[in-house]
Amino acid sequence: MVTTRNMVSFDWAMKRLLRNKANFEVLEGFLSELLRRKIIIKSISESESNKLDKSNKSNRVDILVEADDRELVIIELQYYGQDDYFQRMLYGTSKTVAEHLQQGDNYLNVRKVYSVNIVYFDLGEGDDYVYHGTTVFVGLHTNSELQLTDKQRQLYSANSIGELYPEYYIIKVRKFNDIAKDTLDEWIYYFKNSKIKDEFKAQGIDKARTLLAYEKLTDDEKREHDRMVKDNVIRESETLTSFTDGVFKGREEGRTEKEIEVVIKSHKAGLPMETITAITGLTIEEIEKILNNHSLKYGNNT
């Protein structure tokens, strides 16, 4: 029988536990699965773009990872939407590149930067839950991709031009359907549900299973953790219900069109049942009835 263990939320873990050198194995495992090669972390610090940011810290976590091959990885986790988030990603990588190039340095010393964005809102429009962005140069007339010369490959220790530029990853957590098809999905399952199944075998997951167990927290840590989770749920509720204008009426005889709209949009956005109940005030049974009436099933966002 497969069992599932309750873990602390990933953002709380990033704030409180994963920056400790003794615990680097957890983030090393996740990054190794995402980048599909072994990552060894040299240090973890506050992201350059985060130092001047005034946004609510309960909404987002932003750290900078330095790998032992001099590569830099920005890991940002954000809960509610930001209209200019794509530009924020660009700003973060640009500032990190600039901050790590000393005045007068040769451009060969520009560091490789990865931007890893774990978002709990619907960023952009697409049918996947993991996206990867790179820089390529394509001929306007021949449609062929510009390549490095043999000399440049040797000089840069790279096989393609895209390897020289920042790369972006977007993980849309709420889009994930809870079916782990590979080891990266096992990490995303944890991000979404704060749970790890005993059958999971992703790199770093054993360390996470041991280190991040909710039951191992002290009473004070549990209260802090639960308060942060509750704050995030409230934030999600405030964001999603902004279009309802506070209109929730007609509970005696069934649901209003506005309530039905909120339930369906919440479901399609991938929000958990607990968040939908907090937003609408409806019971789980009432929500499931609405979804069934519209040929929707909880856990299958189609």
- Per-residue pLDDT averaged across 284-295, rounded? 84
pLDDT, one tens digit per residue, over 110-141 is 999 999 999 998 899 999 999 999 999 999 99
Percent of the chain with pLDDT over 70: 83
User: For residue 77, what pLDDT band results from cuts at 50, 70 and 90?
Assistant: very high
Specify the higher pLDDT residue, 60 or 108.
108
pLDDT of residue 287: 87
pLDDT of residue 97: 95
pLDDT of residue 240: 56
pLDDT of residue 290: 87
Bridge partners (DSSP) listed for residue 113: 72
User: For residue 235, what pLDDT band results from cuts at 50, 70 and 90?
Assistant: low
pLDDT, one tens digit per residue, over 22-76 is 999 999 999 999 999 999 999 999 875 555 444 445 457 899 999 999 999 999 9
pLDDT, one tens digit per residue, over 173-205 is 999 999 999 999 999 999 999 999 999 999 999
- Per-residue pLDDT averaged across 213-222, rounded? 88
Distance from C-alpha of 29 to C-alpha of 42, rounded to nearest angstrom: 14
Domain ranges in the chain are 4-212, 219-293
- Per-residue pLDDT averaged across 205-220, rounded? 92
The winner for highest mean pLDDT among 94-103, 239-248, 272-281 is: 94-103
pLDDT of residue 263 exceeding 60 = yes
User: For residue 250, what pLDDT band results from cuts at 50, 70 and 90?
Assistant: very low
Average pLDDT, the chain: 85
